[in-house]
Structure formats: structure tokens, C-alpha cells
Amino acid sequence: MKTFGYLLPLGAFALLLLAAPAGPHASDETDEPKSAAPASEDRQAAMAALRRLGARLEVGESGAVQSVSAVNTKIADADLAHLAAFPELESLEIVGGRVTDAGLAHLQRLTELRRLYLRDLPVTDACLEHLEPLARLEVLVLSNTQVTGKEFARLAKMKQLCVLNLTNSPIPDASLVHLRRLPSLNTLGLQGTKVTGAGLIHLKRIPTLRVLNLNGCRIADPDLVHLQGLTELRMLYLKDSQVTDAGEEKLSDAISGLSIYR
């Protein structure tokens, strides 16, 4: 095996990149602007409403709302209308709660969003229509949702998207074909999806991949041939797969600098 202990910290960092929120929740010190410009009444009302529902807001010194994090809050679809008061928003995290596809329609005008984390929500492929206008996204997490990816073609405008985490969502092999239209994609999380070895043929068309998580997927030694052309791949996670030591060594020999974690 070519998996070495001293590489694990780097691997752990990649896993954090796949699953982590936009950053640490704002502290009490950063939750309020230090020298903010006067906010409009609408902005003040929106900020107060979201905080009452349990959301955390990070506000910059200029008064701009930089991020909103709603983890297991009381926020429902209608409450997301408050986000319209922050067109400058760069990061949004919604974990758990009652938000559905309909609620995500309120995100369409947040065209400055760079990072969007949607986890543990009953959203489906229908939500991708609402995310399509978010062309500046760099990180998109759709983890533990009902998204299957049949509408992934709608992501094609996201030319800057570099991290896509689909962990524990029911993504089948066929949906991966659309990901080749993401020219900046370098980190892909498919842990716990329905992806099998047959689906890896679609990944060979994503030469920018550097981190690939296939933990829990039905992958065996012969399937790894589809990854041999990914010369930029540096971290591959294959825990709970059918890959053997021999298969791992063969792929490591084919891709210089690759670290495999099983």
C-alpha cells in the first residue's frame, strides 16, 4: 500500500474542505459590525428577524452582511425572503430545519454568493432551478438531501465552482456526466452516494480533479482504470470499497503524487 501515516493530516484537511461550513460561526464580537454604516430599516428588520429564528450573521466593518448560518434553526421557506436585504451575501449555510425547494427560490437574486452549504434538508432536484443563477459559486454542498443530480446540467454556468460535495445524497452514475461542464472543479465528494465503478468513466473527463471522495461507494480494482488519466489527482478516499492493495498500488503507480486512503 502507498498510504503513509504522515499524509493523514493533509487528508483530514481535504475532508474538512468537503464538509465544513464557510468558516467559524461569527463570535459575539463579529456578530455586530464594529464601525458599520447605518443600515436601512429593511436591513435592520431582516437581521433581527433571522437572529430571532436562531441564525448567526457575520457582519463586516462596512456593515455588509458577509455570511448567514442557520444550523437546526426554526427557519422555514418564507423566512428566507429576509435574505433579499443582503444582496452582497457571500456565504450561506442551512443545515436541518424546514426549508424546501420552494424556499430556495429566495436565493436566486443572491448573485454574489460564493459558498452555499445545504445539508440535512428535504430538497430535491427542483431546487437546482433556483440555484442556476448563482454563477459565482465556488463551493456547493448538497449533503444528505434528496437531490439525484438529473438536473446537474443547470450547474453549467458555475464556471468558478471548485468544490462540490454530494455526500449521502442519492446520486446515480448517470448524473456524473454533467459534471464535465464545470471547468474549475477540483474537489468532489461522492461519499455514501449511489455511484458505482461504472460511473467513474464520467470522471475521466474532469482533468482538474485533485480530491475525490468515494467512501462507501461500490468501487473495485478494475474500475480504477477510469481514474488513471487524472494526473492532477492527489487525494482519493476509498474507505468501505472493494479496492484491494493490488488495485491501490497499480493506481498509485499510474498517478504520480497520489495518496489513497482506505
Nearest Cα neighbor of 51 from 82, 23, 77 is 82
253 C-beta neighbours (distance < 10 Å), count: 11
- Give residue-wise pLDDT tens across range 58-85: 999 989 999 999 999 999 999 999 999 9
pLDDT at 38: 41
CATH of domain 90-206: 3.80.10.10
pLDDT score for 40: 84
Residue whose C-alpha is closest to residue 218's, from 194, 182, 183: 194
pLDDT of residue 119: 99
Burial class (CB in 10 A: 0-12, 13-18, 19+), 39: middle
Which residues make beta-bridge pairs with 100? none
In this structure, what DSSP letter does residue 171 have?
A: -
The residue whose grid cell reads 440555484 is 131
pLDDT tens profile 173-193: 999 999 999 999 999 999 999
Q: The dihedral of CA 241, 182, 121, 97: what is its sign?
A: positive
Could you list the beta-strand ranges (E) of 182-248.
Answer: 187-189, 211-213, 235-237
* Domain boundaries, given as residue ranges, for the chain: 90-206
* Cell numbers given for 72: 437546526
Q: Could you read off the pLDDT of 5-53 as tens digits, one per residue? A: 333 334 444 544 455 564 444 433 444 444 344 458 899 999 999 999 9
**What is the C-alpha separation between 260 and 247, in angstroms, rounded?**
11
What was the pLDDT predicted at 33?
44
